[in-house]
Amino acid sequence: MSQPGTSQPNEPAGAERKLFLGGFLLALFITLVVCALELAGGMPAWPGLVRYTVALLALSLAASSPFFDSQKRGLLSWESAALVLTVLILLTAFLTGPEFNIMLAPLLVGFAQRYQDLGRFVKLGLAGFGLGVIEFLVFNWLGFKSVSGSAGINLLALAALTFSLANYLQHYYKRYQTLEDEAATKASEMEVAHEIQTSLMPPTTYTSGNWALAARSLPARNVGGDFYEYVFHPSLEDTISGVAIGDVAGKGIPAALQMAVVRTLFRVEARRRIFPSETLYSVNMALQAERSFGMVTMCYAMIDLTTNTLHLANAGHNYPLLLTENGLKEIGLPGLPLGIDDSIEYEEEKIRIEPGNSVVFYTDGVPEAMDREGNLFTFERFRTCIENHQHLKADDMVAALLEDIATFTQGAPQSDDITVLVLQFQPQAGKINQTDQLEEHYNFI
């Protein structure tokens, strides 16, 4: 089984073979046309070097896209190489005259590919030089003044040139293939990383007693630094007793790795059933021990199921929005993000939640989502969208809000991770009242 990027040199891919053949036939055709014109006496002696120039340009065209994408791949542009060679050949022609140019053309091409194969460089150079010398001696002996009319020798020289250029192309095509294979492998790994991260996230919808939760997280890349967490009650089975949302500075793999650390620290602290302010304090202290750890914003709301009250602490995260029948209210609780400084004390706020109320949590990717003109979605627009969807169930509300953002951005590349979490209080008839069961677990509040 062949490994990516290890194609055999003696088995050129179909595309390479076509390019090689195409370039060779094109050069042959140009040579024959020019030679025919010379033999017919229609052109002076000097166009011998023009022939090489045209051949080089033609070959460069044959070797151009879609097989080369120098901008994206960072390879030496084929066109640039051909241009440099053309200039060199023209310069040589001016300095030495057309005869020497014929000898030097393969030498120059060989020089251009010396990094690829020193042996081929020497062979081609010697072959070209040898051909030129033989041609010069033979034609001088025969009494001709110019060598440029020698169709056979020129054809050989041009064939060598073509061979050289095709090898040059083959070399870079292989590099292109290797890079493409590596990119495919990386994309595959990122896809797996995305699946792993998605599977580690809590479910996108969850109902716990009278509380409905819905959340979505859309990383800007395959993986991201946004996260949300449902905190399960340690004693009551399948009962949510808190929610958290966070945003690790940065994007991609570094942010994803740091996010995993923060989530773990948070889970450990949240299990202790301490107040949210203390939880954030403890997580921050633990993060201080981690060198080179970036900033993390986080909001944690613990639910007192006996009184339907949220105990909320915020470490620099976007203010949650409380949606009641009277409208939208921001739960303004400033706080330094985690990972910035040690010994930060966090304040806490208690919010009583009435039936039908929703609390919307979101990351900064929401207000800072950008359209194609660079306009921000803004806090104000997000608030308006929430108010427009105030009668929707939690899951539908999240979907509608993300749809609003998508409509606004009009397909512009996502600049930051986007996460929205909705916590809804939906008392339903027939639900077992867990209050009695819960009271003993909330004595600490």
Partner 1 sequence: MTLKVEQGNAFTIIHIQNDSVDATSAKEIAGIKDRMNQTTIMDFGPVMFINSAGISALLKLVIEARKQGKKLYAVNVTAHHRKVFEMVDMLRYMPIAKMEDLMPLISA
Give the residue, chosen from 12, 47, 250, 252, that forms a contact with partner 1 under the rule CB under 8 A: 250
Residue 279 or 318 with smaller CB distance to partner 1: 318
Give the residue, chosen from 135, 364, 395, 404, that forms a contact with partner 1 under the rule CB under 8 A: 364
Distances in Å between the Cα of 338 and the Cα atoms of 280, 283, 421 are: 8, 8, 20
Site size for partner 1 (CB under 8 A): 27
Residue 99 or 416 with smaller CB distance to partner 1: 416
Strands of 321-324's sheet in order across? 205-208, 211-218, 418-425, 358-362, 321-324, 327-330
Least distance CB 269 / partner 1 (angstroms)? 21
Residue 98 or 219 with smaller CB distance to partner 1: 219
Residue 350 Cα to chain centre, angstroms = 42
- What is the rounded distance in angstroms from the CA atom of residue 242 to the CA atom of residue 276? 9
Q: Write b or e for each residue in 48-57: b if 16 or more Cβ atoms lie within 10 A of its Cβ, otherwise e.
A: bbbbbbbbbb
Per rule CB under 8 A, is residue 277 in the interface with partner 1?
no
Residue 154 or 318 with smaller CB distance to partner 1: 318
- What is the rounded distance in angstroms from the CA atom of residue 87 to the CA atom of residue 82? 9
- Contact set for partner 1, span 303-332 (CB under 8 A): 314, 316-319, 332
Write each residue from 402 to 421 as x if it is in contact with partner 1 (CB under 8 A), else as -, in one continuous string. Answer: --------------x-----
- Strand-pairing partners, residue 78, are none
Q: Any idea of the CA torsion for 266, 272, 275, 278, to the nearest 10 degrees?
A: -60
Residue 326 or 343 with smaller CB distance to partner 1: 343
Are 211 and 303 spatial neighbours (Cβ–Cβ below 8 Å)? yes
Among 215, 226, 227, residue whose Cα is nearest residue 423: 215
Residue 155 or 249 with smaller CB distance to partner 1: 249
Per rule CB under 8 A, is residue 395 in the interface with partner 1?
no
Continuous H helices in 214-275: 252-270
Per rule CB under 8 A, is residue 249 in the interface with partner 1?
yes
Per rule CB under 8 A, is residue 132 in the interface with partner 1?
no
Residues that bind partner 1 (CB under 8 A): 247, 249-250, 294-295, 297, 314, 316-319, 332, 334-337, 339-341, 364, 367-368, 374, 376, 378-379, 416
